[in-house]
Structure 1
């Protein structure tokens, strides 16, 4: 039972940095999945990202390419961790969340549209 609760305490192994995501975009090595709501997406997003709101993700898993690992993104990094759980439950073992979300991305001066 302790292992179950530890998963909610320390999720650092499920996260990657803004710079790691930026490098993945540059090489095209990963699918970038933005799980924010439409209004958040429209306010600004990473150009290379695929948009599937978190509430729709479990029904739209088949839309994600299977040949690349996935980095998930949200506003602050919390919903993207939930997205990692959904992807894992759907059979993927290659999903990670971008720590800090779009707040961290924008604070780092990275481009978005």
Structure 2
């Protein structure tokens, strides 16, 4: 009987940790659907977190490329008084970058829900 109680308590603790961790992720960066993300692109700091080759192949017009691999070193170049819009291929890197920005004191952090893979807006590339 004691073994089952310990297993149950351990399961509850694991579930709470997962739920709270997910909640913390959501507080770091707000996911915006494409239509809402498109609205203010000229008034924000638009950051593409993908590697340079993917950025050059095609990116949202006005985006600045800061690959996730270099993000911790270059994020201090971002202004704290302007909203930051992040995107990557599918949204995973944006959550990580958002957490880093939040820890550094940035407050207005948004990401493109589902990343650029679902983007239907204008794309700029070297070939176009």
1:8 Cα deviation after fit: 4.5
Aligned partner of residue 96 in structure 1, secondary structure:
strand
Is 1:58–1:90's contact at 8 Å kept on the other side of the alignment?
Answer: no
Query: What is the 5 A alignment of 1:50-69?
Result: 50-69=64-83
Where in structure 2 are the equivalents of 1:1-113 lying within 5 Å?
Answer: 2=16, 4-9=17-22, 14-25=30-41, 28-105=42-119, 109-113=120-124
Equivalent pairs counted in the alignment come to 107
- Structure 1 residues 7 and 21, CA gap change in structure 2 (3 angstroms): farther
Equivalent residues of 2:83, 2:109 under 8 A apart? yes
Task: Provide the TM-score with structure 2 as the length reference.
Answer: 0.74
Cα distance in structure 1, aligned partners of 2:104 and 2:22: 22
Following superposition, which runs of at least 4 residues in structure 1 exceed 4 angstroms of deviation? 10-13
Structure with the higher fraction of residues in helix conformation: 2
Instruction: Classify the secondary structure of the residue corresponding to 2:39.
Output: helix
Q: Determine helix, strand or coil for the equivalent of 2:80.
A: coil
RMSD of equivalent CA atoms: 1.9
- Distance in 1 between residues matched to 2:45 and 2:96, nearest whole Å: 17
Q: Which runs of 5+ in 2 are unaligned?
A: 1-12
Question: Could you tell me the TM-score, scaled by structure 1's length?
Answer: 0.82
